[in-house]
Amino acid sequence: MLRITDIAKTFNRGTVNEKVAIADLSLTLNDGDFVTVIGSNGAGKSTLLNAIAGTWLTDSGSIMIDDIDITRLPEYKRAKYIGRVFQDPLMGTAADMWIEENLALASRRGERRRLLPGITRSERAEYAEMLKPLNLGLENRLTSKVGLLSGGQRQALTLLMATIKKPRLLLLDEHTAALDPATADKVLKLTDELVSKDSLTTLMITHNMQDAIDYGNRLIMMNEGRIILDIAGEEKKQLTKQQLIDRFNALSDQKLESDDVLLS
């Protein structure tokens, strides 16, 4: 359902700071794929997600969601198909607006913003029902400003917002990295629930190898702007952390001279 073909992105081209962040990367996701993405700092993971979300346009290549070519679409138009949670808990919500207002904004993702009420009574009841299972007490605080919430609460809310209008693709960029371990675990469990409930096609970046192994049905590893490892199905289920580390070391030593390693 997502088909990325030969995209590339170079930052600060022609300057001393020139940086090839993504080099001829292709990736195809099937409907319902839950893919975890790992790779060292600067590997290009966030750049890949930004390219899909449309933070800026890629230098070349094409990106398709279903049969829609989104390569040239601005970010706000792609949002119709894409739900997103950022690493920074402050990024995904409007701090000065109420919890229910944030949810109402998200539930109109991809729609025209008309001169109708921004939130209706029946929506309020719905949102309270949606928030209850989080066990964070947010259902009683619909008219609290989001800025008053903790980082974990905000990330849980952002997750709900990203999935409230079932997106064709869910992009998660280290969305638990800024949280304490216990909260991170809670948010990750919630992620898994929301993703499996609607079988959302998902790309999730994480720095935690164990999480990358435990969650999802497919794992990709990135290095220097390329995908160097793509493991799915049974093989992914059997994967251990040590195997993953060994393979990473082996691959990065080879400096990716042959294409074979990409297919392993």
Ligand X SMILES: Nc1ncnc2c1ncn2[C@@H]1O[C@H](COP(=O)(O)OP(=O)(O)OP(=O)(O)O)[C@@H](O)[C@H]1O
Q: Where on the chain is the footprint of ligand X (CB under 6 A)? A: 11-12, 19, 21, 39, 41-47
Nearest to 161 by CA among 86, 63, 216, 76: 86
Residue with tokens 């706000």: 76
Sign of CA dihedral 189, 195, 196, 201: negative
Does 84 participate in binding another protein (rule CB under 8 A)? Answer: yes
Binding to another protein by residue 161, rule CB under 8 A? yes
How many angstroms separate the CA atoms of 125 and 142, rounded?
10
Contact 118, 97 (CB under 8 A): no
Q: Provide the strand spans (E) within 30-105.
A: 34-39, 60-65, 68-69, 82-85
Q: Which is nearer to ligand X, 25 or 134 (CB)?
A: 25
Using the contact rule CB under 8 A, the part of the chain among 15-23, 79-87, 220-228, 245-253 near another protein is 79-87
Q: Is residue 86 a contact residue for another protein (CB under 8 A)?
A: yes
Classify 77 as helix, strand or coil: helix
Q: Number of residues interacting with another protein: please give it, by CB under 8 A.
A: 35
Which of another protein, Mg ion, ligand X, none binds 155 (CB below 5-8 Å, type-dependent)? none
Q: Longest Cα pair distance anywhere in the chain, in angstroms?
A: 60
**Residue 47 touches another protein, criterion: CB under 8 A:** no
Nearer to ligand X, 9 or 218 (CB): 9
Task: Give the interface segment with another protein, choosing from 77-85, 193-201, 219-227, 231-239 (CB under 8 A).
Answer: 77-85
- When the beta carbons of 162 and 227 are compared against another protein, the nearer one is 162
Smaller CB separation from ligand X, 46 or 62:
46
What minimum distance in Å lies between the beta carbon of 145 and another protein?
7
Cα distances (Å, whole numbers) of residue 56 to 11, 17, 109:
11, 18, 19
What is the spatial distance between Cα 46 and Cα 86, in angstroms, rounded to a whole number?
10
Residue from 14, 16, 113, 263 touching another protein (CB under 8 A): that is 113
Nearer Cβ to ligand X (136/244): 244
Least distance in Å: CB of 151 to Mg ion? 17
Report if residue 65 touches another protein, rule: CB under 8 A.
no
Q: How far is CA 57 from CA 41, 60, 72, 140, 223, in A?
A: 22, 9, 7, 41, 21
Smaller CB separation from Mg ion, 46 or 252: 46
CA distances from 214 to 140, 170, 192, 208, 237 (A): 33, 18, 10, 10, 8
Q: Rounded to the nearest whole angstrom, what is the least distance from the CB of residue 127 to Mg ion in the complex?
A: 30
Which residue ranges make up the site for another protein (CB under 8 A)?
A: 53, 74-77, 79-80, 82, 84, 86, 90-97, 101, 104-106, 108-111, 113-119, 145, 161
